[in-house]
Structure 1
Amino acid sequence: MGTTDEDARVVARVVAGDLGAFEVLVTRWQQVAHRTALALGAGAEAEDIVQEAFLKAFQNLAGFRSGYSFQPWLLQIVANETKNLRRSRYRRQRLEFRLTALFLSDGNIASEDPYAAVLRDERERLLWKTLQELPDKYRLVLTCRYLLELSEAETAQVLGWRHGSVKSRTSRALAKLRALLIPVETGEVTIHT
């Protein structure tokens, strides 16, 4: 995004006492933080997670290392807050989001062929259903790498994993996802709704 230097300047202003400058960071990263919380399983509590993450980021801003990107640092806080939320739930909840909530619409949906739209929606539903069935470590790495489009290094930072773990888990997760989806695509498995 090319905002590392801009973010560093804003962080320096906040640390120097310009508390209003923090609003720049909130405005810049709130949507990404919200999508991250949703993607990691916060569901209806995503807004609360994001608010808590920004509060913790603000409180710990003096510890932010200059020269690093603010985005993965913030997203790591979001990931930790979401993990804490999931841990505290009595029973595990399914993810509550749709692909359209993760990505901004380009406005071309109205002109799309209705048949193609139905097929696309069914594929998306199947992909999300299958993704939700993966173990957490695989779902989390795929979410960070492909839905949030984070680099391997940023994913490692967000999830608190080693770089090698991100690479190997991404590979294993894709293989598991592929193995679950290919029988459906070839008609070998019946989909029940």
Structure 2
Amino acid sequence: MRTREGTLERGPEGGRLVDAEGAAIARVRAGEPEAYAELVRAHTAAALRAAVAFGAGADAEDVVQSAFLKAYQALGRFREGAAFRPWLLRIVANETRNTVRSAVRLRAVAGREALLLGPEPLIPESADPALAAVARERRGVLLAALAELTEEQRQVVTYRYLLEMDEAETAEAIGCPRGTVKSRLNRALARLGQLIRGEGGEGHG
């Protein structure tokens, strides 16, 4: 829906958001490019989280800027009535993949740690040092496990849990049926469990 400032905000009903996004896109297509700024403001945070989660690291902002530019250029192909965020995040994922490949080395672990920790520490500095040490150890185990997943598994876990997208949005972002999301997610979570427990074994997408 539209706020007083003219930006988009995720409302209680997904349909409202899609309608508001569709209205903004229609304005852009009608020759009002400044309306695109509403979409940029509404989805920049999610796009940055996705870029970091997929390994963009220090290049996350550049990746997101490039993704928004490519999305703008491709608005003519955007399917009317669809949600903008999953479509945008597919572009972010592709841009991140290209950036990581061109940089030669993968910077995903450091980027995911920043994403998982967020702006606030999970345990305050005043807390028991022993508890803080345990929390750091658990985070390290989780980050190492995420790095061991296949790209498909990492994507579905990131969309579904780190970005808190529902199954339909995740399916649209990945470009696959909802049933595929469920099966990939089941395999990814099972694999994460094995890795965290130190069982090893082969992981498959």
Tell whether the 8 Å contact from 1:156 to 1:166 is kept in structure 2 after alignment: yes
Structure 1 residue identity aligned to 2:92: V
Counterpart pick for 1:5 among 12, 19, 29: 19
1:133: Cα distance to partner? Answer: 1.5
Task: Return closer, same or farther for 1:111/1:89 CA change in 2, 3 Å cut-off.
Answer: closer
1:153-164 alignment, distance < 5 Å: 153-164=168-179
Tell whether the 8 Å contact from 2:21 to 2:83 is kept in structure 1 after alignment: yes
Structure 1 residue identity aligned to 2:46: V
* TM-score normalised by length of structure 1: 0.83
Instruction: Give 3-state SS (helix, strand or coil) of 1:113's partner.
Output: coil
Q: Give per-residue Cα distances to partners, 1:35-87, cap 9 Å, x unaligned.
A: 10110111111111101100011111122222111111111111111122233
Q: Counterpart in 2 of 1:33?
A: 47
Counterpart pick for 1:21 among 29, 32, 35: 35
Tell whether the 8 Å contact from 2:68 to 2:88 is kept in structure 1 after alignment: yes
Q: Counterpart in 1 of 2:137?
A: 122
Q: Give per-residue Cα distances to partners, 1:116-166, cap 9 Å, x unaligned.
A: 343323212221111112221211111111111112222222222332221
Name stretches of at least 5 consecutive residues in structure 1 with no aligned partner.
Answer: 185-193
* Identity percentage of aligned residues: 45
1:61-140 alignment, distance < 5 Å: 61-102=75-116, 104-105=118-119, 110=124, 113-115=127-129, 116-140=131-155
The reply on whether 1:165 has 2:180 as its aligned counterpart is yes
Name stretches of at least 5 consecutive residues in structure 2 with no aligned partner.
Answer: 1-9, 12-16, 200-205
- For residues 84 and 109 of structure 2, the distance between their equivalents in structure 1, rounded to whole angstroms, comes to 26
Q: Counterpart in 2 of 1:150?
A: 165
Q: Counterpart in 1 of 2:5?
A: none
Tell whether the 8 Å contact from 1:35 to 1:102 is kept in structure 2 after alignment: no
**67-76 or 175-184, which moves further after superposition?**
175-184
- May I ask how many residue pairs the two structures share in their alignment? 184
- For residues 176 and 91 of structure 1, the distance between their equivalents in structure 2, rounded to whole angstroms, comes to 24
Q: Counterpart in 1 of 2:69?
A: 55
Instruction: Give 3-state SS (helix, strand or coil) of 1:96's partner.
Output: helix
1:92: Cα distance to partner? Answer: 3.9
* TM-score normalised by length of structure 2: 0.79
Higher relative contact order (CA 8 A, sep 6+): 1
Task: Return closer, same or farther for 1:114/1:9 CA change in 2, 3 Å cut-off.
Answer: farther
- For residues 112 and 10 of structure 1, the distance between their equivalents in structure 2, rounded to whole angstroms, comes to 47
Instruction: Give 3-state SS (helix, strand or coil) of 2:109's partner.
Output: coil
- For residues 147 and 170 of structure 2, the distance between their equivalents in structure 1, rounded to whole angstroms, comes to 19
1:9: Cα distance to partner? Answer: 1.4
